[in-house]
Amino acid sequence: MHRAAFAVLVCLLLELTAGRAAGVRNFDISAGPAGPAIRLLVWTPCPEPPHDMDARGATFFAVPGCSVTSERLPLVVISHGRRGWFGGHQDTAAALADAGFVVAALNHPGDTWRDTSRTDSLSVLVERPADIGRVIDYMLDGWPDAPRIDARHIGLYGFSFGGYTGLAVIGGQPDLRKGLPIARHRACWRASNSRAAKRRLRRSCRIRGSRPSSSIPIPL
């Protein structure tokens, strides 16, 4: 009985390992009038068997440079949290790619673990949502496999500050003044003495709505 149960467990583990297939590749969005250069890590469905990849101490299970062969693929953009990086949610990205999505994870300029030059600036509140718009435009118009993306199906995954970014992208208008009386950060003092707290953000016309979800099942 124990041997049979162990054999079933091994088979299940082998099936899970074999089924998780995702290609991964780096891309760059050039600096221009719309903003600074943006680094992207794009995950795609891949028919080849994945293997371990070392990325700055993190282990990715993917296929580097795998060719994209499918058509009409939905797109998900991942926005990391404050001082994060584009590989911070690689497990989620790989699972989504394995399920048939193209996933574009970006490094928000000036708000990553390596570059914190804008982390505490009010400008990042506006620039982060703008970064998402630039990434979507690139994925639909400039990415080498752009014709394979289904422009009618675009989603966004945001963690922590990335959650704020997502809400702003779909049209949310944060009232920053409400948090000023209890906050003691220098950026909050600047907000109370400027027009930034009243500035309305521009939403992305590519994303038309949202549905909050506390848990999204990923088939294994």
Q: What is the pLDDT of residues 11-57, one digit of tens each?
A: 443 444 444 579 999 999 999 999 999 999 999 999 999 888 887 77
Domains of the chain by start residue, with CATH = 14-198 (3.40.50.1820)
Measured distance CA(80)–CA(212) in Å, rounded: 17
How confident is the model over 178-203, as pLDDT tens digits?
A: 655 555 666 665 655 555 555 555 55
Mean pLDDT of 173-177: 72
Q: Write the pLDDT tens digit of every residue in 81-131.
A: 999 999 999 999 999 999 999 999 999 999 999 999 999 888 888 899 999
Give the predicted TM-score (pTM) of the model.
Answer: 0.77
Q: What CA–CA distances, in Å, run from 187 to 70, 84, 198?
A: 46, 19, 15
